[in-house]
Structure 1
Amino acid sequence: MSPDQIARLAFYVLLLVVIGGAMLFELSGRGGRALRALLLWAVIIAGLAFGYDWWQQTYAPRQQVLENGARIEIPVGRGGHFHLEAVLNGTPVDFIVDTGATSVALSRRDAQAIGLELDALRFSGLAVTANGRVATAPVTIAEFAIGDAVDRDVRAVVIDSELQDSLLGMSYLRRFARVSFEGDLLILER
């Protein structure tokens, strides 16, 4: 079980203890000191579980770029996805690594953040996603960096939908000699 799943499980168990304890307290009509202390500790532990969950979302370790960009290790994140941060045209962009995606797919928000003019894009392509068919606009990213590994003129598409996360698809992953999984790590090697 991952630390994320353990924290969630602990939270739900504590929530059950707090609610169950409150019900017992009310139903018994005689809330003793021990029960109040137990409930207080349950609330404290639930708060700690919430804090841990928030920390995992905000500050959990991201990828490690090793050997001058020749090896990138990406730990599994929330929901079992692998999240990678790249710098596109000087702007940090968070990606979900998606081996089911054909190409690099940018959300409209990320495309705008890296300096692409959305009004100038021609949404002439079509992509089939889990949410149905969406229009796409082909673009070229001048500089795509993951740590010290820098690629230039990377082809991508901008998705004309409410896509929140940009996707790092196979067109970019094929640049690596090896893409593998080692436990809860995704390894990219050049």
Structure 2
Amino acid sequence: MSTDQIMQLTYLVLLGAAIGGSAIVAGRSNMGKMAQQAAIWALIFVGVIGAYGLWEDITNDVNPRQAILSDGAIAVPRSNDGHYHLTLDVNGTAVDFVIDTGASQVVLSQRDAARIGINADALNFSGMASTANGVVRTAPVVLDQVTLGGITDRNVPAVVNGGAMDNSLLGMTYLGLYNRIEISNGELVLNR
């Protein structure tokens, strides 16, 4: 331990002793009640430490993520919002997608397009797409490199949405590269 760490530990011990001493002096007339409250706070403290230690396991149960299966297939659990979410490496940047088998193309939000190095100001929004929210303008792009589970695809066609989008959509221009897409028991499995 360094001198700074020893001094910090000494300070915390003295502070704890001062707080504990004042609590004992204030509650000396009712020591049983004070011991009960100290035990409750100790259990709360232990519970917080336990939750912190198990946080990764808890988040995987509450919000499961994609997994690569032993045969190279990609398993995607259904999220709490009822959709299937997948993270792909696009041009060296992790991009979160909502899987949309009803989308004919990969559709990037303007935010995600900027993150992977596409300048939206230089795009030609010449295309049109019908969405649940109406017709939007789109700009065709080609994704140099898309990687998922150790498989890299090059020159994947996509479009950048001219309107506002919360998430990018993983449509059929990418999903069509897989031999089989299967949904069962709340899990989507992609097989090459």
TM-score calculated relative to the size of structure 2: 0.67
Does the 8 A contact of 1:65 with 1:146 survive in 2? no
Task: Choose 1 or 2 for highest CA Rg.
Answer: 2
C-alpha distance in structure 1 between counterparts of 2:101 and 2:64, whole Å:
22
Question: Out of 59, 63, 74, which is 1:60 matched to?
Answer: 63
What letter matches 2:65 in structure 1? R
When the two chains are superposed, the root-mean-square deviation of aligned CA atoms in Å is: 2.2
Partner of 1:9: none
What CA deviation, in whole Å up to 9, does each residue of 1:101-146 have, x standing for no partner? 1100000000000000111100000000000000000000001011
Offset of residue 61 of structure 1: 2.5
**Equivalent position to 2:189, from 163, 170, 187:** 187
Cα offset, 1:79, TM superposition: 1.5
Kindly state the Cα deviation for residue 149 of structure 1 after the two structures are TM-superposed: 1.2
Segments of structure 2 that go 5 or more residues without pairing to the other structure are 1-43, 45-50
TM, length-normalised to structure 1: 0.68
**Residues 59/143 of structure 1: CA separation in 2 closer, same or farther (3 Å cut):** farther
Distance 2:61 2:96 in 1: 13
Structure 1 residue 59 displacement after superposition? 7.2
One-letter amino acid of the counterpart of residue 176, structure 1: Y
Q: Structure 1: which 5+ runs fail to align?
A: 1-43
From 124, 127, 141, the counterpart of 1:125: 127
1:171 is paired with a residue whose SS is helix
Distance (whole Å) between structure 2 residues aligned to residue 92 and residue 178 of structure 1: 24
Alignment CA distance shift 1:108-1:58 (3 Å): farther
Given residue 142 of structure 1, which amino acid in structure 2 is its aligned partner?
D
Count the aligned residue pairs.
Answer: 138
Rounded Cα–Cα distance in structure 2 between residues aligned with 1:78 and 1:56: 12
Any conservation in 1 of the 2:63–2:80 contact (CA below 8 Å)? no
Partner of 1:143: 145
Amino acid at match of 2:68: V
Picking from 107, 110, 120, the partner of 1:108 is: 110
**1:60-89 CA distances to partner (integer Å, 9 max, x unpaired)?**
231112347x31100000221000000101
- Provide, for residues 23-55 of structure 1, a one-character-per-residue CA deviation record: whole Å limited to 9, x for no partner: xxxxxxxxxxxxxxxxxxxxx9xxx9xxx9xx6
Closer, same or farther: CA 59–122 of 1 in aligned 2, 3 Å: farther
